[in-house]
Amino acid sequence: MTSPADSTYFRKGFGLKSAVEDELAADYDGRIVDHLRSHDFTLKAGDVTVRLAREFGFCYGVERAVEYAYQTRRKFPDKRIFLVGEIIHNPHVNDRLREMGIDILTHPDPMSAFDFSAVSPGDVVIMPAFGVTIEDFAALRAIGCILVDTTCGSVLNVWKRVESYARDGFTALIHGKYYHEETRATASQAQKYPDGHYLVVRNMAEAQLVCDFIEGRTTADAVMSAFSKAVSPGFDASKHLQKIGVANQTTMLARESLEIAEVVGASIARGRGEEARATSFRSFDTICSATQERQDAVRELLNEGVDVMVVIGGFNSSNTISLAQLCAERVPTYHVESSAAIDPEMKTIHFRLPGIKHNEADAAGWLPRGPVRVGITAGASTPNNKIGDAVVRILATRGEKAEI
């Protein structure tokens, strides 16, 4: 997203990092996580061993977005401040921003534009780490309010790729969730050009439908029926799947993004020939390094051996969902939104079922008897203190305390 550099648009903070660092530390740092880091990511209490993945929690992009929000409040103590949706997908962080007097704008339909009627030229508006669509950005610029842009650099890299696809006449095939804020913002970049188009696939099964069309096994009408909510306005499969460039929502399963690119490229070669793959297909690795590192760390932890995994992060956090999905392939896995989901007295846990949208459950006796190794990781929007709180409750479920 290209924006004028003027007195109403800020992307690099306000030089107030030192002014807010103590407040940030008080709100989000955690002694237990510090202890785990300094003890080979291991904490033992009785016959319970807690193992923390070596990459977890807040990534650089999240830290930056949250810090800029704190700086914004400090810079404009007397102005009304709005946030376009959640800054990140963590309820604790968003609640804290509300406590600071930041009004989080929401809308019932994630596919619709935001209603900015409450915003006036004298207000401040923070754009979240996910970014905003080009339509929402244009609406905010038209208002003339002060904009603070916290869009993650990794997201911006994907935007540049999608924009280049549209410029060169390629349709962006995006691995993501069509309703997710980041994917909507990314997909909108294609519409900077008159004939720019996109199609969003959620997983390999949906990518295979695209391959079926490329190889003549299904019709353009069938594609439109399957992806009616996940394509650009005016999309025509017979026209707009001739030249394809692959991109991804940065928080998806990295291995699946790479597999989708490989499968689609191979499909073009089979259906239209190797020359078509060389001239009409593009794929670049736009996977976020932090997402990749957290997924790699989970695999390493699983290979070392744990009996159960607890994954901490918002139920609407895509990168947390991906981590839980990875873990669930190997061991019993509990994706909890916060430590409050773990009830030591009742010995129960409230969790999101991996891979099942909006489906939650409660489990009793979830922690195995006898010596047990509990693996822990957290999504990129989960603060360290919330990870530490979960460790405390896990140990308390077995009557143990974290002696640090």
Confidence of residue 6 (pLDDT cuts 50, 70, 90): low
Average pLDDT, the chain: 95
Q: Report the pLDDT value the prediction gives residue 61, as an integer from 0 to 100.
A: 94
Q: Which CATH number fits domain 20-59+290-397: 2.40.128.260, 3.20.20.80, 3.40.1010.20, 3.10.20.310?
A: 3.40.1010.20
CA dist., res. 387 & res. 313, Å (int): 9
- For the record, the structure tokens of 353 come out as 């079922």
300 is a catalytic site residue: no
Catalytic residue among 55, 86, 181, 182: 182
User: Average pLDDT of 89-100?
Assistant: 95
Q: Report the pLDDT value the prediction gives residue 403, as an integer from 0 to 100.
A: 84
Q: Report the pLDDT value the prediction gives residue 343, as an integer from 0 to 100.
A: 97
Percent of the chain surpassing pLDDT 90 = 91
Give yes or no for a contact between 281 and 264, defined as CB atoms under 8 angstroms apart.
yes
Confidence of residue 72 (pLDDT cuts 50, 70, 90): very high
Alpha-helical (H) ranges within 11-59 are 17-28, 31-38
Fold of 61-152: Rossmann fold (3.40.50)
Q: Which CATH number fits domain 154-287: 3.40.1190.20, 2.30.40.10, 3.40.1010.20, 3.40.1160.10?
A: 3.40.1010.20
Closest-CA residue to 347 (of 327, 377, 376, 369): 369
User: Average pLDDT of 26-42?
Assistant: 96
Closest-CA residue to 96 (of 25, 29, 152, 27): 27
User: pTM higher than 0.85, yes or no?
Assistant: yes
Contacts of 228 (CB under 8 A, 6+ apart): none
| Cα angle for residues 196, 147, 318 (degrees, 5° grid) | 60
Q: Report the pLDDT value the prediction gives residue 2, as an integer from 0 to 100.
A: 44
> Is 154-287 in the same CATH topology as 20-59+290-397?
yes
Using the predicted structure, report yes or no on whether residue 284 has a pLDDT greater than 80.
Answer: yes
Each domain of the chain, given as residue ranges in start order, spans: 20-59+290-397, 61-152, 154-287
Which range has the worst mean pLDDT, 112-116, 175-179, 273-277, 323-327? 112-116
